[in-house]
């Protein structure tokens, strides 16, 4: 096979800026190389050079400096509308030709992206393996005997083989993550509703997410910035909060707090290579500074079972009902076997399942709130195509073991490559966070890419190194306290009642003076910076939920306020400081080294 171009966004933009490449040359290279992979069953409709030309022509009126995806090739799962090109959902009898682009596709084209074609999928997006299509099983980018993963099969393989910079899949039960794992890609399953579903053939309309496959976390972040556009026409569309905006993306610190599945609950279905990769991944994170805490994953697994064993299969039935009822033979046999029973559940079954799901979500949300993220294997094993065809339903279910709970619980996730097995198959983990934590999870993925240095997809290229802005979990804000808010003291309730947790006991840098302020009760100290004659002062750092930080600060009386305080390791932390005028009439207590010491010695 011929050598692919480096299609990562940074490399492609640099090549365009230098004149080394043009969009037309990139498209010609991709189309020529695509013919080499005809037997991989990547495409349902690959656009011709003439069909792509109008998109190339449109670039002439766009400024590359202000058009974020100028000349960037991308692939589209064939259950998302591209104007003038049939949408099949991998079913010929269902196919139609839309007049308009899906809302999301239009945003990408407006930003300069160039569609290459519509990709193969598990029919009606029902599957995690990539074999359930009349267009043939989509083959893995590393070993054609193995699964590509589905349902977004062709979308993942197109990116991995260097036939697109990024691609769109969909993810109801794991279809944006399992194919990413099997093809060494970053797979972003966005928060539900963050990407418009207008122009998407639904699988489960209340749960569906259009997903993004990318060569690295930086690229996924750039595409998400264009894609996360509110759509008035989509009843499920949600506005992206500032805490999840592009400005929040960077590189997470290595000393993360991560929840991991209890050892006795892990399942690798006899695949010792995947087990070994997982254990090595977890160990490397711990060695790099992360704190890993085992959690009970039972409620997550119980929620996952509701997707296919509960009434939500009725949504899949709704999407395919005309064919199921009138022309069932047009539906791929195993897909029909899964979808057809969806017409039987009663409304009472749905309500009962919703009651239980609500209970499980509360439990799972409380677990999630304790950590920067939760980490799971993306998949417990990797089957050959032949093995999947032997047991198509059982083994597909096994592929979804760690993925099916996500959308039911309204969570966000990013699949990240971390290793190759001894037999040279890709392995990866999934980062899990609450809704609208997409940028934070991508920032963690960016950190992981520095720990696990791998090629991008099945190409020979590695992610280019570049300086990163260190970012922190936007769900919480660290606050340094030095007086009445310390543990066990009269105002500590102002933290604990807001759900704050003690993160660290430390000291300031040796550059502060402390004063017992006039007034009270409650009695309060004032912290003043003095680089010449200061010393280290005992402090605590509390993690305050961001939603309550404003109300906490608003209640602080003068002369105190919140500013930046340097701690012993040199970090700058939001913390209590005092206006210089506030120490008039105050008693200096610096020599005691902290407020609690002064209280003890004056009691």
DSSP 442-481: HHHHHHHHHHS--BSTTSS-BPPP----B---TTEEEEEE
**Average pLDDT of 228-256?**
96
Q: Is 186 helix (H, G, I), strand (E, B) or coil?
A: strand
Catalytic residues: 77, 151, 175
Tell me the pLDDT band of 363, cut-offs 50, 70 and 90: very high
Closest to 565 in 3D by CA, of 495, 524, 505, 512 = 512
pLDDT, tens digit (0-9, with 9 covering 90-100), for 130-139: 999 999 999 9
Please write the tens of the pLDDT for every residue from 42-76.
999 999 999 999 999 999 999 999 999 999 999 99
- The CB-side HSE value for 356 (13 A sphere, CA atoms) comes to 16
DSSP 117-146: EEE--SGGG--SSS---TT-PPBPSS-TTB
Residues 440 and 442: their CA atoms lie apart, in Å, by 5
SS3 state at 200: strand
Q: Does residue 238 carry a pLDDT above 80?
A: yes
pLDDT digits (tens, 9 = 90+) for 328-339: 777 778 787 777
The set of residues, in sequence order, having a beta carbon less than 8 Å from that of 237 and lying 6+ positions away, is 193, 196, 197, 230, 231
* Burial (CB count <10 Å: 0-12, 13-18, 19+), residue 57: exposed
> For residues 42 and 159, is the Cβ–Cβ distance under 8 A?
no
- Residue-wise pLDDT for 282-333, tens only, equals 999 999 999 999 999 999 999 999 987 778 778 777 777 787 777 777 777 8
Tell me the pLDDT band of 575, cut-offs 50, 70 and 90: very high
- Euclidean distance between CA atoms 176 and 174, whole angstroms: 6
Start-to-end CA span in the chain (Å): 80
pLDDT of residue 346: 80
Mean pLDDT of the 81-90 span: 98
- For residue 408, what are its two tokens? 């039911």
The stretch 359-381 carries a mean pLDDT of 97
Q: What distance in Å separates the CA atoms of residue 336 and residue 519, rounded to the nearest whole number?
A: 76
Tell me, what's the pLDDT at 312? 74
Q: Is 215 left (phi over 0), alpha (psi -120 to 50) or beta?
A: alpha
**Mean pLDDT within 588-598:** 96
Compute the distance between CA of residue 395 and CA of residue 390 in angstroms, rounded to an integer. 9
Q: Contact, 253 vs 475, CB < 8 A?
A: no
Provide the edge-to-edge strand list for the sheet that holds 512-516.
525-529, 512-516, 587-588
Question: Treating both helix axes as pointing N-terminal to C-terminal, what angle do 49-58 and 23-34 enclose, rounded to 10 degrees?
Answer: 160
Rounded CA separation 303/379 (Å): 17
- Evaluate the CA torsion angle 482, 485, 488, 490 in order and state its sign: positive
The CA-atom distances, in angstroms, between 595 and each of 76, 513, 542, 590 are 61, 11, 16, 9
Please report where in the chains the tokens 């930080």 appear, as a residue: 549
Q: What single DSSP character describes residue 47?
A: P
The per-residue pLDDT of the chain, averaged, comes to: 95
359 membership: H or E segment, kind and range? helix 347-368
pLDDT at 95: 97
Per DSSP, the three-state class of 190 is: coil
d(C-alpha 55, C-alpha 420), whole Å: 37
Predicted local distance difference test score (pLDDT) of residue 573: 95
pLDDT of 443-477, one tens digit each? 999 999 999 999 999 999 999 887 788 999 999 99
Q: How many CA atoms lie within 13 A of 441 on its CB side?
A: 28
**DSSP letters for 538-575:** EEEEEEEEHHHHHHHHHTPPTTEEEEEEEBTTS-EEEE
Q: What is the per-residue pLDDT for 342?
A: 74
Q: Long-range contacts: 265-271, Cβ < 8 Å, 24+?
A: 265/296, 265/297, 265/298, 265/301, 266/377, 266/380, 267/380, 267/401, 268/377, 268/380, 268/381, 269/380, 269/381, 269/398, 270/381, 271/380, 271/381, 271/382
Residues 465 and 450: their CA atoms lie apart, in Å, by 9
What tokens appear for 295 in the block? 């959690």
Taking 90 as the threshold, does the pLDDT of residue 119 lie above it?
Answer: yes
Question: Residues 480-507: pLDDT tens digits?
Answer: 999 999 999 999 999 999 999 999 999 9
Please name the helix (run of DSSP H) or strand (run of DSSP E) that holds residue 527, with its range, or none: strand 525-529
Q: By percentage, how much of the chain surpasses pLDDT 90? A: 88
pLDDT for res 162: 98
Domains annotated for the chain, with CATH where assigned, are 9-451 (3.90.1300.10), 476-602 (3.10.490.10)
Average pLDDT (263-286) is 98
C-alpha distances in Å from residue 100, one per residue of 81, 105, 131, 308: 7, 10, 29, 33
């Amino acid at each position: 096979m011929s050598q692919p171009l480096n299609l990562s966004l940074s490399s492609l933009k640099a090549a365009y800026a230098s004149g080394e490449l043009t969009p037309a040359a990139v498209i010609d290279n991709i189309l020529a190389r695509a013919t080499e992979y005809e037997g991989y069953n990547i495409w349902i409709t690959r656009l011709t050079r003439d069909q792509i030309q109008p998109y190339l022509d449109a670039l002439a009126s766009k400024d590359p400096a202000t058009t974020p995806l100028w000349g960037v090739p991308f692939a589209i799962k064939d259950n998302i509308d591209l104007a003038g090109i049939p949408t099949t959902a991998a079913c010929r009898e269902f196919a139609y030709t839309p007049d308009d682009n899906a809302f999301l596709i239009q945003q990408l084209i407006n930003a300069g992206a160039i569609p290459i074609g519509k990709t193969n999928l598990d029919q009606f997006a029902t599957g995690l393996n990539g074999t359930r299509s009349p267009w043939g099983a989509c083959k893995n980018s590393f070993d054609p005997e193995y699964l590509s993963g589905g349902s977004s099969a062709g979308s993942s393989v197109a990116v991995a083989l260097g036939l697109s910079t990024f691609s769109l899949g969909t993810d109801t039960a794991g279809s944006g993550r399992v194919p990413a794992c099997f093809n060494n890609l970053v797979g972003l399953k966005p928060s539900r509703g963050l990407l418009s579903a207008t122009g998407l053939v639904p699988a489960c309309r209340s749960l569906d997410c259009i997903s993004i496959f990318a060569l690295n976390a930086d690229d996924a972040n750039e595409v998400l910035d264009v894609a996360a556009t509110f759509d008035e026409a989509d009843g499920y569309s949600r506005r992206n909060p500032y805490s999840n905006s592009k400005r929040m993306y960077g590189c997470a610190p290595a000393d993360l707090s991560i929840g991991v599945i209890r050892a006795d609950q892990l399942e690798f279905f006899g695949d010792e290579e995947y087990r070994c990769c997982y254990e090595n991944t977890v160990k490397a994170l711990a060695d790099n500074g992360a704190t890993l805490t085992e959690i009970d994953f039972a409620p997550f697994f119980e929620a996952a079972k509701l997707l296919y064993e509960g009434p939500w299969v009725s949504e899949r039935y709704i999407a395919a009902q005309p064919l199921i009822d009138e022309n069932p033979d047009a539906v791929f046999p195993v897909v029909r076997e899964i979808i057809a029973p969806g017409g039987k559940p009663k409304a009472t079954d749905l309500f009962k399942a919703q009651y239980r799901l609500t209970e499980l979500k509360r439990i799972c949300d409380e677990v999630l709130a304790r950590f920067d993220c939760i980490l799971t294997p993306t998949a417990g094993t990797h089957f050959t195509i032949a093995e999947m065809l032997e047991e198509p339903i059982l083994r597909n279910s096994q592929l979804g073991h760690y993925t099916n709970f996500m959308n039911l619980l309204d969570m966000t996730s990013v699949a990240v490559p971390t290793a190759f097995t001894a037999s040279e198959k890709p392995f990866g983990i999934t980062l899990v966070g609450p809704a609208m934590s997409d940028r934070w999870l991508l920032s963690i993925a960016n950190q992981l890419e520095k720990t696990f240095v791998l090629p991008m997809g099945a190409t020979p290229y590695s992610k280019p190194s570049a300086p990163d802005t260190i970012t922190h979990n936007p769900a919480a804000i660290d606050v340094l306290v030095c007086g009445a808010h310390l543990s066990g003291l009269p105002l500590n309730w102002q933290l604990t009642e807001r759900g704050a947790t003690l993160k660290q006991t430390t000291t300031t840098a040796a550059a502060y003076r402390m004063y017992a302020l006039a007034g009270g009760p409650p009695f309060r100290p004032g912290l003043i910076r003095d680089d010449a004659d200061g010393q280290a002062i005992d402090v605590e750092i509390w993690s305050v939920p961001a939603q309550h930080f404003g109300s906490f600060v608003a209640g602080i009386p003068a002369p105190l306020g919140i500013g930046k305080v340097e701690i012993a390791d040199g970090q700058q932390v939001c913390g209590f400081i005092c206006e210089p005028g506030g120490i008039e009439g105050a008693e200096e207590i610096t020599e005691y080294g902290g407020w609690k010491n002064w209280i003890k010695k004056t009691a």
